[in-house]
Structure 1
Amino acid sequence: MSMNESRAHQWALYALAGLTGFVCGAFVQQEASIRQLFHQIRRDPYIYHHRHKLYPMLSTFRTDHETRLWNSSTSLADKFRELVVSPIFDFVSAALMLKTDSATTTDLLDLIKYGLPSTENLYVHKDYIVSQDMCTNAPRWICEHFRGDYQKMSSDEGGYSNLNLRYNDVYVLSCGSMKICKVFKRKIWNDLEKYVSTKAKEFGSVYTYTGPIYTPSCHENGKWTMKYDVFDWIPMPVPSHYFKVLIVESRIPGLYPFMEGYIIENSRMVGGKLSDHRAKIDEIERFTGLQFNKVLQPVVQFDKNSFKVDTRAWAGRFEEISEPLVTLPANKEVKEF
């Protein structure tokens, strides 16, 4: 081999080594950035909400960020990252004694699995996440996750708790004033809390969104008014109703998540059966301006003589259900279930 050929071969090896080092460095930098982003997503709801805009910035090498975030990736490359690369990162971090955040806040992915109804003024607590409405000086919604071991607070001599909610929830939803949240002392709200507890024990996991609804009252003279109450010298609007949206998910294979909605009047006189207060999700959205998970809500399309339910909107289902429309007699009413 001539001198020139030896040098050319040597320079080729240098170039290959440099290129390999560059690729490895870029890969390491990407993985470190992704791990840091996932860490921040689990702590900051705003980063979680805008995560899809951040993913392209970290895509030097192809990877499915969303499936990796939820630990549901099945590709060989991501399995290699999980089983080989991640332990190496953890070992190097421990060896170099890199600073890590040891905060014990709740993993947000456990609370906001099904999304955020809104993103205004979010506050993360240990057991829930809440959106504060600065215009009314009260929360817009509070999100909680109940598991099968969920136990309601102890009952009093009357058979149910005076507050019918955990203290933190009452304080958050009422800003510390039980004069505003009259419904929380009623048995119907206690029935709703028991229902959530029953579903959590039956299916293993229930997500709930709870918040106020403000609708004006119409008087006999045709005028509409909103009720206010003074709390700490600050006038606060009194909610006309409270809503609760349930997302029930089962850990049993073959059973898919489903949604339920309830609207209960904020009054000392409210009562009746819990089923009487069932409400459609889009009705709650119309009253509150919030947006709940659309993936779990079926799409119904009406044709001339039939209706079709597109169940592809339900996670894990891809078939369609089509049924003929039934013409009811004129003296019959349509009943909703």
Structure 2
Amino acid sequence: MSLTDTGAQQCALYAMVGLTGFMFGAYFQQESSIRQLFGMIKKDPYLFHHRKKLYPLLSTFRTDLESRLWNRSMCLTDRIRNRLVFSLFDAFSCVFFEKRFEMNSPDLLDLIKYGLPSTDNLYVHKDYVVSQDRSTNAPKWMCEHLKGNYKKLTTGADGDALHLRYNDVYVLSCGATRTCKAFQRGIWRKLEQHVTEMTEKFGSVYVYTGPMYLPSCRLSEDWSLEYQIVDWIPLPMPSHYFKVLIIDPQLAGCSPYMEGYIIDNKNMPTSVSSSTELIDYLCDIAEIERHTGLRFFDGVQTVVRFGKHKYKIDKSSEQPSVLN
């Protein structure tokens, strides 16, 4: 073998080693960036909302980031990546970077699995996420994830279980319970009891609750909206409150489905006839979206079909029963 051939082989070997090192470095950089992005997505609701726009910026090599985020894909490649690449990343981070103390924060993947109705002024609590409406100084909506063993507020003056959660009463009313008259009604207690039953039955329910501001027509045929003076500032009073349930069954063969309810925000005297049946407050999700401007998860179908005095379930979708 001539000296020229030997030099050519060495150059080819060096080039192959360099290319391999470059590819491995690029792959390692991609995976470390993806891991950091996943960590930030779990803490920042805005990154969670816009995550799919960020994926292409990190996809040097083809990978299904959305499936990996939700741990839906656990093939051999994923196992090798988790054991080898992430272990190397942790080792390098401990050696070359200062390990920072991270405060405990809720996992947004557990709180807002089915997305955000809007992205205005978001605040994350360990038990819920809330969107604040600064124009009315009140929340626009709040989202909770209830599991089979969640604790509810069951205290009342008469000692009966009210099925009212602390979050609903105090967060949405900003501490002024007189604003939320709907929460004092028996029908709202029935709704909360229904949420409790669905949670205990299916193991996981995502609950969106918020106010609605709809004008009413009086005898003079003028449309008006009720206001209340708070700290010398007139603020609109909610005319209704909505609740959207996304039942996420933890049972084999069951698919998620949605329910929507609208309850007017006023005290009903006993002399005034008002329906006490929860089904009469069942509504289409699109109606809530139309009046509030919010957008709920469109990947889950509303399987409840309701008429004037009855309802039924779409049997073709093989969903679990909604109400007993």
Q: TM-score, normalised by structure 2?
A: 0.87
Counterpart-to-counterpart distance in 1, 2:31 and 2:242: 42
Residue 103 to residue 186, structure 1, CA distance change in 2 (3 Å): same
- Equivalent residue, structure 1, for 2:246: 247
Structure 2: stretches of 5+ with no match in the other structure: 269-273, 305-313
The answer to whether the Cα contact below 8 Å between 1:250 and 1:257 also exists between their aligned partners in 2 is: yes
Deviation at 1:310, TM superposition (A): 12
The answer to whether the Cα contact below 8 Å between 1:118 and 1:290 also exists between their aligned partners in 2 is: yes
- Equivalent residue, structure 2, for 1:15: 15
- Equivalent residue, structure 1, for 2:311: none
* 1:272 maps to which of 276, 279, 290: 276
The answer to whether the Cα contact below 8 Å between 2:153 and 2:162 also exists between their aligned partners in 1 is: no
Deviation at 1:185, TM superposition (A): 1.9
Counterpart-to-counterpart distance in 1, 2:280 and 2:158: 23
- 1:189-228 equivalences under 5 Å are 189-228=188-227
Residue 54 to residue 89, structure 1, CA distance change in 2 (3 Å): same
Q: Does 1:296 align with 2:300?
A: yes
The one-letter amino acid paired with 1:195 is: H
The secondary structure found in structure 2 opposite 1:250 is: coil
Residue 101 to residue 199, structure 1, CA distance change in 2 (3 Å): farther
- Equivalent residue, structure 2, for 1:32: 32
Counterpart-to-counterpart distance in 2, 1:88 and 1:266: 57
The answer to whether the Cα contact below 8 Å between 1:143 and 1:209 also exists between their aligned partners in 2 is: yes
Deviation at 1:67, TM superposition (A): 0.3
Q: Which range is displaced more, 221-230 or 190-199?
A: 190-199
Q: Which range is displaced more, 259-268 or 179-188?
A: 179-188
Q: Does 1:41 align with 2:41?
A: yes
- 1:1-337 equivalences under 5 Å are 1-94=1-94, 96=96, 98-160=98-160, 164-166=164-166, 168-269=167-268, 272-297=276-301
Deviation at 1:223, TM superposition (A): 0.5
The answer to whether the Cα contact below 8 Å between 1:165 and 1:184 also exists between their aligned partners in 2 is: no
Counterpart-to-counterpart distance in 1, 2:263 and 2:133: 20
The secondary structure found in structure 2 opposite 1:268 is: coil
- Equivalent residue, structure 2, for 1:327: none
Residue 160 to residue 264, structure 1, CA distance change in 2 (3 Å): farther
Counterpart-to-counterpart distance in 1, 2:215 and 2:109: 36
The one-letter amino acid paired with 1:22 is: F
Counterpart-to-counterpart distance in 2, 1:200 and 1:129: 19
Structure 1, residues 292-331: CA drift from partner, whole Å, max 9, x if none?
111112699xxxxxxxx897xx7x99xxxxxxxxxxxxxx
Q: TM-score, normalised by structure 1?
A: 0.84
- Equivalent residue, structure 2, for 1:325: none
- Displaced runs of 4 or more, over 6 A: none
Deviation at 1:100, TM superposition (A): 4.2
Deviation at 1:111, TM superposition (A): 1.0
The answer to whether the Cα contact below 8 Å between 1:123 and 1:130 also exists between their aligned partners in 2 is: yes
The answer to whether the Cα contact below 8 Å between 2:147 and 2:203 also exists between their aligned partners in 1 is: yes
Residue 296 to residue 181, structure 1, CA distance change in 2 (3 Å): same
Deviation at 1:95, TM superposition (A): 5.0
Counterpart-to-counterpart distance in 2, 1:163 and 1:298: 25
The answer to whether the Cα contact below 8 Å between 2:163 and 2:192 also exists between their aligned partners in 1 is: no
The answer to whether the Cα contact below 8 Å between 1:203 and 1:249 also exists between their aligned partners in 2 is: yes
The secondary structure found in structure 2 opposite 1:52 is: helix
The answer to whether the Cα contact below 8 Å between 1:177 and 1:231 also exists between their aligned partners in 2 is: no
The secondary structure found in structure 1 opposite 2:179 is: coil
The answer to whether the Cα contact below 8 Å between 1:163 and 1:184 also exists between their aligned partners in 2 is: no
Structure 1, residues 69-121: CA drift from partner, whole Å, max 9, x if none?
00011443233212332233234434556424522111001111111111111
The one-letter amino acid paired with 1:80 is: I
The one-letter amino acid paired with 2:284 is: K
CA RMSD of aligned residues (A): 2.5
The one-letter amino acid paired with 1:235 is: P
The secondary structure found in structure 1 opposite 2:248 is: strand
The secondary structure found in structure 2 opposite 1:132 is: strand
The answer to whether the Cα contact below 8 Å between 1:164 and 1:185 also exists between their aligned partners in 2 is: no
The one-letter amino acid paired with 2:233 is: I
- Identity of counterpart residues, as a percentage? 54
Q: Quick one: higher RCO (CA 8 Å, sep 6+), 1 or 2? A: 2
The secondary structure found in structure 1 opposite 2:209 is: strand
The answer to whether the Cα contact below 8 Å between 1:140 and 1:212 also exists between their aligned partners in 2 is: yes
The secondary structure found in structure 2 opposite 1:206 is: strand
